Amino acid sequence: MSDFILITGCSTGIGWHLAQRLKQEGYTVLATARKEADVANLQQSGLQAHILDLNDEQSIEQAVNWAMTESKGKLYGLINNGAYGQTGALEDLPTQALREQFNTNLFGWHHLTRLILPVMLQQNQGRIIQISSLLGLVAMKYRGAYNASKFALEGYTDTLRLELRDTAIQISLVEPGPIRSEFRSNALKKFLQHIDAASSRHSKLYQQTLQRLQNPNPKNPFTLEPESCVAPVLHALRSKRAKTRYGVTFPTYVFAFLRRVLPSRWLDGILCRSA
């Protein structure tokens, strides 16, 4: 029997490609998504799939019960990937919007991880892979909610790694920079839902934000396809000693280096021009 891998956020982008490729590599993939139509699409592609809404603890628990049944109580890997980005200046962001961002991007991951960890501890093996972001390393303006959730994820994962040090479970962060996906269109929906752009002192700059989010083909020359995350995830699953962090895309390496060597105000200037 092949190793079972549970993946969240498989409707599109990184999650979809990870699910398809890991299945090709011989893993038994348990793919999840928030919407029934996306689950049906995953099943039609030949994957075992189930609904999992990271903003709903009952949905998470039902998905874990399904995964335990499918895997007969054994699960080698958990890939936390499901997330979205809330765009907008922090001063314009309703507290409820920030709460929703953390519910999906962190609290849901925590609830799922807590349910899976006892299984991995009992079987004395397991890999947990957290799909983070360049914006978990450096901040960019008008992305404060997403920045905060990914910075929190980085600290959460570092702590969990320390606490699992005396076990056979290994945990890794994958930190992509710009990746071609549905992320922009989803961020646009959240922006329009929560941000009153016309009444903001940032209204003129928000026009640039809207143009960026509405552009399906960003001009950033460093944007990679979702497949670029497959190799680091496979290494994290297979290596005897997985890395704690895997950078993906050139900007991730550059800004990780600049964060270490530059004064904060110098880095702020570069980040403001990069936004």
Residues labelled catalytic: 146
The token pair at 241 is 């000693």
Give me the half-sphere count of Cα atoms (radius 13 Å) on the Cβ side of residue 127.
Answer: 26
Cα–Cα distance for residue pair 34/11, rounded to 1 Å: 8
Residue 65: CB atoms within 10 A of its CB come to 12
DSSP letter at 10 equals -
Place of tokens 């110098």: 266
Query: How far is the C-alpha of 6 from the C-alpha of 75, rounded, in Å?
Result: 8
The two structure tokens encoding residue 143: 């992305």
Give, as one character, the DSSP assignment of residue 104.
Answer: I
Q: How far apart are CA 155 and CA 161, in angstroms?
A: 10
Which three-class secondary structure string do you get for 163-215? Answer: HCCCCCEEEEEEEECCECCCHHHHHHHHHHHHCCHHHCCCHHHHHHHHHHHHC
